[in-house]
């Protein structure tokens, strides 16, 4: 798939933050009104000074896997809170360029606008790949929310001041929630509905992300054991 390289990654910390501020001005929270045909999930895993990015493409209706691609590369940046996307996007884009499918929506294991500058990986990456995106995080990053009902499908908006920046979503009854946010070109309701569509019996994590996560773990283990992958 094509990548529109909107900026380089040879950047100072101050330049990274300025890019985030500029991208935030162009975020579109708009309804996704058609039924997706194919979607994909993205996850990354780290080992030593490297990372592996995996993209799993699924048929939206059947939730069957169509394609899986990955890329392994060295990490260019140390981890800096709020700037994780600059560490992960270059490796993700290399995997994206290997993909033959043309997914309608992209799910990321990470945040979208649920971010101090509103530009988590799901949002930032959307400008490179020109796709609607959704962020699904396993842990709470920022913002406040009301106590959540224990029933499956319950959710509460996450606020930063008066601004809604995401939702905490209970995907299974009496299990820990996930944190859902708009990446770009969808609404929060779209993001919640599409997330619940991919919830199976096996996990609180939507299957589109869970399968990518399983692949990153498998590939990382194989690489660490010096197996051919």
Annotated binding site for Mg(2+): 43, 109
The DSSP secondary-structure symbol of 228 reads -
Find tokens 């609607």 and name the residue.
132
Round to whole Å and give the CA distance between 27 and 118: 9
Annotated binding site: 43, 109
CB-count burial class (<10 Å; 0-12, 13-18, 19+) for 138:
middle
Round to whole Å and give the CA distance between 58 and 222: 24
User: How far is C-alpha 12 from the chain's CA centre?
Assistant: 24
- Which spans in the chain are helix H? 13-24, 84-98, 121-129, 188-197, 207-224
Residues 6+ apart with CB under 8 A from 136: 107, 108, 109, 110, 178, 179, 180, 195, 205, 206, 209
Round to whole Å and give the CA distance between 28 and 44: 25
């Amino acid at each position: 798939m094509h990548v529109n390289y909107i900026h380089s990654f040879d950047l100072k910390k101050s330049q990274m933050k300025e890019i985030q501020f500029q991208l935030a001005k162009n975020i579109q929270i708009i309804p996704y009104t058609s039924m997706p045909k194919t979607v994909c999930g993205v996850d990354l895993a780290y080992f030593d000074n490297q990372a592996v990015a995996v993209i799993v493409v699924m048929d939206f209706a059947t939730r069957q896997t169509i394609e899986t691609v990955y890329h392994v590369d060295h990490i260019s940046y140390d981890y800096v809170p709020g700037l994780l996307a600059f560490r992960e996007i270059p490796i993700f884009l290399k995997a994206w360029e290997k993909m033959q499918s043309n997914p309608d929506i992209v799910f990321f294991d990470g945040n979208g606008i649920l971010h101090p500058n509103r530009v988590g990986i799901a949002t930032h990456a959307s400008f490179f790949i020109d796709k609607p995106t959704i962020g699904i995080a396993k842990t709470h990053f920022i913002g406040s929310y009301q106590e959540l009902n224990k029933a499956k499908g319950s959710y509460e908006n996450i606020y930063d001041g008066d601004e809604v920046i995401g939702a905490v979503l209970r995907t299974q009854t009496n299990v820990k929630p996930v944190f859902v946010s708009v990446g770009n070109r969808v609404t929060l309701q779209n993001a919640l509905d599409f997330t619940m569509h991919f919830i199976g019996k096996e996990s609180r994590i939507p299957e589109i992300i869970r399968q990518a996560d399983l692949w990153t773990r498998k590939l990382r283990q194989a690489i660490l054991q010096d197996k051919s992958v």
